[in-house]
Amino acid sequence: MKINLKSKFKFLLFFYLTNLINVYSQENFQVKSGFNLSSVAISNGSNLDQPSGFVPAFHIGILLNNLLDEEYSFEYGLIYNIKGYKVVDFSGVNVYNYSTYLEVPISLVYNLPSIKNVEIKFGPYFAYAIKESIRNSIMKENIKGKIGNDLDKGHTLKPIDMGLNLGANYYLRNIIFTINFGYGLLNNRPGGGRGNVVKNISSQFSFGYLINFKKK
């Protein structure tokens, strides 16, 4: 029996959530939220709409941090993340596109010994699309996109995305300030984007609250 990539990702996401619930009491637990600026990078096309700027959105989620030693730790979690971009169509109208993902970031974190309370982190993210909305500057009405892999069926957003994150944390007691840059590795448009490769790019600015559940 053939199992598609979407079904596999749902199963892995369920397994991941179950694992988060099972281990939370033994880890450093962080609740975070913040502001996004996101767009897309388009290549291999010169006659289609091009991104003209970043659009604002937000994210909220939880992170667990597992200490490996005094300098390194392993960070992972689940983020409700809204990304998007703005394009100008052939008639000069601004079109805004917002995509909502459940995102799983996994990062190796390095505690800088020379700078107190500062960490840098790097690692992949895996994301599952749950919603897409599109509006323009004239109608002001949101139109729902269709998530899937078949352009002939009217799908506008692929269900799976993955990419790389690079970020930094600053700790002020139990408060954490984070800046993060993400770059998608997959084309998120069904059917190859009609010849274009469309990848998510985003910047996140967030703050979180750290709860230490780890038993001493």
CATH of the domain at 121: 2.40.160.20
For residue 39, give its domain range. Answer: 5-20+28-211
* pLDDT at 44 (0 to 100): 66
Taking residues 24-53, what's their average pLDDT?
Answer: 74
Q: Which residues pair with 182 in a beta bridge?
A: 165, 202
- 134 in a structural domain: yes
Could you give the number of structural domains in the chain?
1
Q: What percent of the chain has pLDDT over 70?
A: 79
What does pLDDT average to over the chain? Answer: 83
Cβ 81 vs Cβ 103: under 8 Å: yes
- 202 in a structural domain: yes
Ranges 14-28, 48-62, 70-84, 134-148, most confident? 70-84
Specify the higher pLDDT residue, 46 or 127: 127
The amino acid sitting at 109 is V
> To which H or E segment does residue 207 belong?
strand 197-212
Q: How many CB atoms lie within 10 A of CB 120?
A: 15
- 196 in a structural domain: yes
What are 41's two structure tokens?
């990078």
- 109 in a structural domain: yes
Where residue 132 falls among pLDDT bands split at 50, 70, 90? very high
- 188 in a structural domain: yes
Q: Are strands 28-43 and 197-212 parallel, antiparallel or unpaired?
A: antiparallel
Where residue 192 falls among pLDDT bands split at 50, 70, 90? low
- 216 in a structural domain: no
Cα gap 135→203, rounded to integer Å: 22
| Residue 149 phi, psi (nearest 5) | -110, 5
Alpha-carbon torsion (117, 120, 124, 128), positive or negative: positive
Cβ 44 vs Cβ 59: under 8 Å: no
- 119 in a structural domain: yes
